[in-house]
Structure 1
Amino acid sequence: MVSIGGSGAARRPRKGSGRAALRRVATVVLLALGSALYLGCLGGTAVARSDDLVKANDLVKVYVVKTAEQNGGTPDTLANAAARTLGDPNRAGEIFELNRGRTQADGSALRDPTDLRAGWILKLPEDARGPDVRLAQETGGGTGQPEGTGQNGETEQNGDTGQPEGTGQSGSAANTAPAEVQPPPQAPAAIVLPLPAALAGLGTLLLALLTAGIMARRRVRRAFGAVARAVHRLGEPVRRARRLRFRRSLTTTFAGDGESLRVAYEALAELTGPLTGPLIVPGDHAVHAISVGGEGVTAWVATTGAPPAPWQDLGEARWWRPAGAFARPAAPRRPDVPAPCLVAVGVDERGGKVFVDLGRLDGALSVTGDRGVARDVVQGLLAGVARDRPSVPVAVIQVADGPAVALPPTMPRVEPSGRRTAGVPVAARGTGTLRATARPRPLEGLLVVPGTPAARESADLAALSGPGGLGWTALVCGDADGAHWRWRAAPDGSVEIPLLRLTVTAPA
């Protein structure tokens, strides 16, 4: 087989693309027919309303004989009048019979079908239609100056008044007195829209639009996409400012909310205490994070088996229990289990306040992504530790081009020191992200790395917080080799915690 274009395989049309195109064409055709029928009905309704107006006000339909200049240089005829108002020149005899012997404004009367004078007003049959049809009011009075009012609201005056003369078919001059034409009361314009013309025009317009849409659909799609992106960018500063105000309010909320932290510790004690039972083994309830909301508490655990009552299993290693009093542990905490250190990290999508146990970080936390938000996350964790355990020491490993991290003034500042482990391979330091592999360790001290550490800084990091190190917990504003927990910060202030399958909004 020979492929065209160097793709290595013959291109195949997408399945269903032909049917989709046919459906689009059929939709356009049906839309065109429906629109044409609607316009035709609209025109018919306008004509019907015009006929009702004629009957309601005793109006008659008339035709004003045109001058030679108005008729293209030739005198006007009854055949022309019939063609223009009745659509059939052969109906000229009907117009003649309606107007035979009727005295006109100049005193003359129609007696010869071939003798028409410009300005005469001829009465028409009731089915007359067209732009040359005018409406007038007929009275049985004497002669006067004829005034014809057309459907477009114009008034025509033709000649001076004259003495009626001649007799009609009955031979009586009184019975053949000319009709005095008066303007009708509030005669609105009648809309006449021939259906064939409406169909032709609308069909042409829709076909043109369909052709243009087929030819330029990709460009139109790209243009609409560009406009949507531009509008979104215009609103970005407002959204960013609103998001920042919300994150700053979270800082104040967490600083003054000791009740949520107390509830989190009580829930943690209920799960990690030395409970007994057929499915509960002391030490099995490893809790990494707690979310405290108005309706209850959610715990992220690394435990197999069923949760103890009243906790409920939500799946994905999450347990939930409704709000209420917590059961106190039956015995004091085991001395070999490190005391937890819950620190606020943000709020989840439901507004619950999320606390993580820094004792479960197992070495280092690496916060990647937006540098400013990563710095806010680390500073928030430091503030939480300073409120709960102000005696925990903190050290800083300076890196190049790292964001400045403000340390709490109440925490003792020490210089980092420890044995170098630059020769330890990265794999040996641990790169796993499984919850079950995290080992609880006491919070001996905090090591802050404001940026991605280079080779020398990585050696210091491993010496202080890595396996076999001094047991410190590292908070890194960047990508750190061997970090057990890895969070990703976004510019809008959201932080993704893949280990917990959770996204929170961090305080600023």
Structure 2
Amino acid sequence: MRRTAVVVLLAVWSALYLGGAALAADGGDAAGAADVVKVYVVRTAEQNGGTPDNLALIAARTLGDGNRAGEIFDLNRGRAQADGTALTDPGDLRPGWILRLPEDANGPDVQLAQESGGDGAAQPDGTASTAPDGAGTQPFVQGSQPPTQQGSQAPTQQASNTIVLPLGAVLAGLGAFLLALLTAAIVARQQVRRLFAAMARAIRRLGDPVRRARRLRFRTSLAAAFAGDGESLRTAHGAVAELTARKGHAVHAVSVDDAGVTAWVATADAPPAPWQDLGEARWRRPAGAFAPPAQPAYGTGPQLPSPSLVAVGVDEQGGKVFVDLSRLDGVLSVTGDPGVARDVVQGLLAEVARSKPAVPVAVLQTTGGPAVALPGAMRRIERFDPRPAGASATAREAGTLRAAARLHPLEALLVASGTPTAQEAADLLALCGPGGAGWTALVCGDAQGAHWRWRAAPDGSVEIPLLRLTVTVPA
């Protein structure tokens, strides 16, 4: 819009400037060409009572003093007449010549004419006369009849059919026309752009049902893919074990893809080899750079290094993302689309049911919240005691913002199906907050005091702000 306004203003300024300048120049020329002077048309002897005209008689009739004949001669000496001759001898006057008079001339014989400029005689409208030799030249006279020659009436001047336009008017009109074209083009372009944008939106809306169905099928397939992919889980556990075994680095999340492993860590230290620093507290280990020790799948063999590592979804590169529930600081709040928020919580419950089915689960049904279905393998408890059981959390670790979360081992789960009330929020803090009973809460809504807040979108994507990560969750 700013560029369009500048173009229109420049076009307006150009049209006004060029048109005004041309009008001024043309007006000056027209003013110079339209000077009105006083003239006298030399008479024939018959018109003058048998006496030929001479400068003394003309001066006496027009100036009241015959001795001023020299002034008339000086004004007209060498001035070309219509027949191609010029006045060179004061005694040689020819009928029909147009003689210019001094400004104070007056009387019935004084006529007005337009000065043609140059050395030519005064002519109507500044044009040269085409009368033949000896014919009387007809000046532009106000309030008088044209003279006759040899007793016969001279032919009247033919009206011209040619329309003469000043240059300034032509340029001003052309500028206005170009400005109108430019404005119409700009307006039409904007209208066409809006029309195409509206058509694109309409076409996209027509395809929305197909895209939603395809997206839903993809999200539905993720649940089965996670359930049958033990290799990605073992790779994620191996990466966590490798980083925590060396310097005890806290790992909040891991993404596993065919090209390698990405870990979100809570430290500003440089990564150990072969890990690479990607910035924003992310480390990357290419595939094949390290062979992690074999780890058993869910619930078998020795204790996994991070028993609360669960799959959340896939990132934009197709990597499977795992988060450590023990580092949620007790409360996870999933806001945004209620249906997708419920899918997030149910997906986490399904992961916990596969890895730690003995973890008890209590459901806090809130008003208006989506119903959350618990996996059949999980042990559900109907009543729970919100009294604190002593602080089981370790001291907060130094490092980035993610290090503000306490290590909170997964001992029991509390699921809130919607935004809790003030009393329910107090119960959540008593159970899951610092110094609480060691529970971990999964809330489908806004929970005050939650350290981890995820935002769910209607298309099934979930934003995890603390990790600067967006994933697509199973349905």
Which of the five TM-score ranges fits, normalised by the shorter chain?
Answer: 0.5 to 0.7
Q: Is the 8 A contact 2:237 2:305 kept in 1?
A: no
Match of 2:286 among 314, 322, 333: 322
The whole-number CA distance in structure 1 between the counterparts of 2:228 and 2:217 is: 17
User: Would you say how many aligned residue pairs link Structure 1 and Structure 2?
Assistant: 294
**How far has the Cα of 1:454 moved from its partner?**
1.0
CA pair 208-15 structure 1, distance change in 2 beyond 3 A: closer
- Please state how far the C-alpha of 1:445 moved relative to its aligned partner: 0.7
Residues 21 and 237 from structure 1, CA distance in 2 versus in 1: closer, same or farther, beyond 3 angstroms?
A: farther
Q: Which residue of 2 aligns with 1:238?
A: 210
Q: Does 2:378 correspond to 1:414?
A: no
Which amino acid in structure 2 is aligned with residue 393 of structure 1? P
Q: How far has the Cα of 1:218 moved from its partner?
A: 4.7
Structure 2's unaligned 5+ residue stretches are 15-176, 295-303, 389-399
Equivalent residue in structure 1 for 2:6, among 18, 23, 32: 18
Residue aligned with 1:235, SS: helix
The 2-side partners of 1:446 and 1:347 are apart by 24
The residue identity in structure 2 corresponding to 1:253 is: A
Show CA shifts across 1:122-155 (max 9, x none): xxxxxxxxxxxxxxxxxxxxxxxxxxxxxxxxxx
1:255 maps to which of 189, 202, 227:
227
Q: Secondary structure at the match of 2:333?
A: strand
Shift of 1:463: 1.7
CA shift for structure 1 position 22? 6.1
The equivalent residue for 1:352 is: 319
C-alpha contact 1:289 1:301 (8 A) present in aligned 2: yes
Q: 401, 406, 409: which is aligned to 1:434?
A: 401
Q: Which secondary structure does the structure 1 equivalent of 2:334 belong to?
A: strand
Residue equivalent to 1:286: 250
Q: Which residue of 1 aligns with 2:434?
A: 467
Q: Could you say if the C-alpha distance between residues 21 and 505 of structure 1 is closer, same or farther in structure 2, counting changes exceeding 3 Å?
A: farther
Deviation at 1:14, TM superposition (A): 4.7
1:83-482 matches, cutoff 5 A: 210-273=182-245, 275=246, 282-283=247-248, 285-324=249-288, 325-326=290-291, 339-419=306-386, 434-482=401-449
Show CA shifts across 1:133-185 (max 9, x none): xxxxxxxxxxxxxxxxxxxxxxxxxxxxxxxxxxxxxxxxxxxxxxxxxxxxx
Classify the secondary structure of the residue corresponding to 1:383. Answer: helix
Q: Deviations over 1:183-239 (max 9, x none)?
A: xxxxxxxxxxxxxxxxxxxxxx99987553344555444433332222221111111
Quick one: distance in 2 between partners of 1:19 and 1:470?
69
**How far apart, in 1, do the equivalents of 2:335 and 2:342 lie?**
10
User: C-alpha distance in 1, partners of 2:379/2:238?
Assistant: 28
Q: What residue number does 1:161 align with?
A: none
What is the one-letter code of the residue matched to 1:467? P
Distance 1:446 1:20 in 2: 66
Name the TM-score, length of structure 2 as normaliser.
Answer: 0.57
Cα–Cα, structure 1 residues 365 and 349, in superposed 2: closer, same or farther, change >3 Å?
same
After TM superposition, give the deviation of residue 464 of structure 1 in Å. Answer: 1.2
Q: How far apart, CA to CA, are the structure 1 residues paired with 2:236 and 2:305? A: 17
Give deviations 1:291-319, integer Å, cap 9, x for gaps. Answer: 00001000000112111111111100000
Distance in 2 of aligned mates of 1:477 and 1:370: 9
- Matching residue of 1:30: none
| Contact 2:387–2:437 (Cα < 8 Å) also in 1 | no
- What is the identity, as a one-letter code, of the residue corresponding to 1:18? V
Counterpart CA distance in 2 for 1:224 and 1:207 is 25
Displacement after TM superposition at 1:19 (Å): 4.8
CA deviations 1:43-102 (Å, max 9, x no partner) are xxxxxxxxxxxxxxxxxxxxxxxxxxxxxxxxxxxxxxxxxxxxxxxxxxxxxxxxxxxx
Q: Which amino acid aligns with 1:267?
A: A
Distance in 2, matches of 1:21 and 1:242, equals: 50
Instruction: Flag structure 1 segments of 5+ consecutive residues without an equivalent.
Output: 1-12, 27-204, 276-281, 330-336, 422-432
Aligned to 1:470, what secondary structure does the other structure show? coil
CA distance in 2, matches of 1:396, 1:292: 32
Q: Report if the CA contact (8 A) 2:306-2:324 is conserved.
A: no
Distance 2:259 2:376 in 1: 36
The question of whether the paired residues in 2 share the 8 Å contact of 1:312 and 1:321 is answered with yes
Superposed CA deviations along residues 11-42 of structure 1, whole A, max 9, x for unmatched, are xx95795258769xx9xxxxxxxxxxxxxxxx
Cα contact 1:488–1:497 (8 A) shared by 2: yes
Q: Distance in 2 between matches of 1:226 and 1:218?
A: 12
Q: Distance in 2 between matches of 1:258 and 1:383?
A: 14
Please say if residues 334 and 455 of structure 2, whose CA atoms lie closer than 8 Å, have aligned partners that are also in contact: yes
Q: Distance in 2 between matches of 1:366 and 1:328?
A: 34
> What's the RMSD between the two structures over aligned residues?
3.1
Distance 2:9 2:379 in 1: 72
Give the whole-Å Cα distance in 1 for the aligned partners of 2:180 and 2:272. 70
| TM-superposed deviation, 1:240 | 0.5
Change (3 A) 1:214 1:497: same
Deviation at 1:286, TM superposition (A): 0.6
Alpha-carbon distance between aligned partners in 1 of 2:199 and 2:387, rounded to the nearest angstrom = 56
- What is the one-letter code of the residue matched to 2:6? G
2:394 alignment counterpart:
none
User: Matched residue of 2:380: which SS?
Assistant: coil
Aligned equivalent of 1:37: none
**AA aligned opposite 1:406:** A
| SS in structure 2 at match of 1:366 | strand
> Kindly, what percent of the aligned residue pairs are identical?
72
Distance 2:234 2:411 in 1: 22
> Which AA in structure 2 matches 1:500?
L
Q: Which amino acid aligns with 1:272?
A: T
Per the TM alignment, residue 481 of structure 1 is displaced from its structure 2 partner at its CA by: 0.4
